[in-house]
Amino acid sequence: MVLATYRIIQRFFMPVFWGIIIAVAVEPLVGRMAQRLGGGRKMAAILFALVVIAALVIPSVMLVFSSIDTVQSLFLLWLGACTMLDRDSRGYLLRKKCLPR
């Protein structure tokens, strides 16, 4: 029973260990933010978490949209339409024919 419990818990040791390391490393930053916010430690922790989440989510979303545009272009070229996608000054997609058939 003890061995089975250890085998289940063993998978969580490394993430918890890294969580402790990251928490200790960023604690001075959160402390400084709390001082600048007037001692509100909860508000500093929430603000710091939102900044970190935004720093991870925004580039990921941009990468997904860029990948979608690329796949669309490649799919249209694969269809043999020889269509190139471009954007106008307002950011709308324009389809240009390469050569008439």
| Model confidence pLDDT, tens digit, residues 6-47 | 999 999 999 999 999 999 999 999 999 999 988 888 999 999
Q: How far apart are the C-alpha atoms of 76 and 71, rounded to whole Å?
A: 9
- Which is nearest to 34 in space by CA: 46, 52, 23? 46
pLDDT of residue 101: 47
Model confidence pTM above 0.75: no
Helix-helix angle 2-36:41-78, to 10 degrees: 110
Average pLDDT over residues 45-54: 93
Q: How far apart are the C-alpha atoms of 3 and 12, rounded to whole Å?
A: 15
pLDDT of residue 78: 73
Q: How far apart are the C-alpha atoms of 3 and 98, rounded to whole Å?
A: 66
